[in-house]
Structure 1
Amino acid sequence: MKAPIVVHCTAPTGGRAVTINDELAGLIHDDRDLIKLLRQAGIYDAEHCLDDPHWIEWRGSPAHRYEAA
């Protein structure tokens, strides 16, 4: 089973796109942005999901890295 949330590779200008169930959810620039986005999507225990591969796949760039490549 794939993770429902994907944090995509870092954009050339910094930040990372996030998809939830293959739908674009937003652009984030740090873990706080990600937690806020997930809470807005109804995941209220978001801070505990960040390193859980059942919830989040960090794709193309290291986890928790948001600066431009």
Structure 2
Amino acid sequence: MVRARVVVYPPTAGGGRRVRVGEEILGRARSAGELLEFLRRAGLDPDAVDLHDPDLIEWRGGGPGVWE
């Protein structure tokens, strides 16, 4: 499984949060489900991702329950 560092940025004024894996910006997720889809496309198994794992995901501007 890929263990690149994931950064989820603070919510934007237009909604959603920018998502980066390593040096690549994957897009703007508007929910935890969309985030997991981005991570699946990046090579992670969404069933094995713990959104509360600080070794994998750095949440900026709120945790996995904050999207607006």
With the shorter chain as reference, the TM-score category is 0.7 to 0.9
Uncovered stretches (5+) of structure 2, i.e. residues with no partner: none
Which residue identity lines up with residue 7 of structure 2 in the other structure?
V
Q: Distance in 2 between matches of 1:46 and 1:7?
A: 19
What TM-score does the superposition give when structure 2 sets the normalisation length?
0.83
Paired residue total: 65
* Percent of aligned pairs with the same amino acid: 35
- Counterpart position of 2:40: 39
What TM-score does the superposition give when structure 1 sets the normalisation length?
0.82
Uncovered stretches (5+) of structure 1, i.e. residues with no partner: none
Superposed structure 1 runs of 4+ greater than 6 Å apart: none
